[in-house]
């Protein structure tokens, strides 16, 4: 599975990458803001995205809205310091599939990734053939 990490913090991307590697995911691309992520999506064709909210050039919520204009099925997990209920609701309305608040443990991130993949697999299995 190809995963795109979108965060302006190299440290956070490294933590996420190490967690993903312990879960067996090795096909990982990175972007440091939403604009880089849009280019990476076109080039890398990720099957899962982990997206930060607060970034320069294009924030995560704007990125998610842009992605959802053309791709409703790409699993997206928001990984952010934004923990207020109104922010979580805004992210869900924008189209995230799951939400992780920083700081997080590797176990929390792993659980959210597993939940998201399971939910998306179940949704794909029950979707009518087109």
pLDDT band at 127 (very low <50, low <70, confident <90, very high): low
Nearby residues of 26 by Cβ (< 8 Å), 6 or more positions away: 20
Tell me the C-alpha distance between 60 and 36, whole Å: 11
pLDDT band at 129 (very low <50, low <70, confident <90, very high): low
Q: How many CB atoms lie within 10 A of CB 123?
A: 12
Per-residue model confidence as pLDDT tens digits over 6-24: 999 999 999 899 989 988 8
Per-residue model confidence as pLDDT tens digits over 62-71: 999 999 999 9
Superfamily name with CATH number, domain 3-126: Response regulator (3.40.50.2300)
pTM of the model: 0.92
Tell me the C-alpha distance between 37 and 30, whole Å: 8
Q: What is the mean pLDDT of the chain?
A: 92
Q: Cβ distance 101 to 88 under 8 Å? A: no
């Amino acid at each position: 599975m190809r995963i795109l990490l979108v965060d302006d913090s190299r440290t956070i991307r490294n933590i996420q990458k190490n967690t993903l590697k312990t879960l067996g995911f090795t096909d990982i691309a990175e972007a440091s803001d939403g604009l880089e992520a849009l280019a990476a999506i076109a080039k890398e064709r990720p099957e899962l995205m982990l997206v930060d909210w607060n970034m320069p050039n294009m924030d995560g919520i704007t990125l998610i809205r842009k992605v959802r204009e053309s791709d409703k099925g790409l699993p997206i997990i928001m990984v952010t310091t934004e923990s207020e209920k109104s922010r979580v609701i805004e992210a869900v309305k924008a189209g995230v599939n799951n939400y992780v608040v920083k700081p997080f443990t590797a176990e929390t991130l792993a659980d959210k990734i597993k939940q998201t993949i399971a939910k998306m697999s179940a949704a794909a299995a029950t979707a009518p053939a087109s």
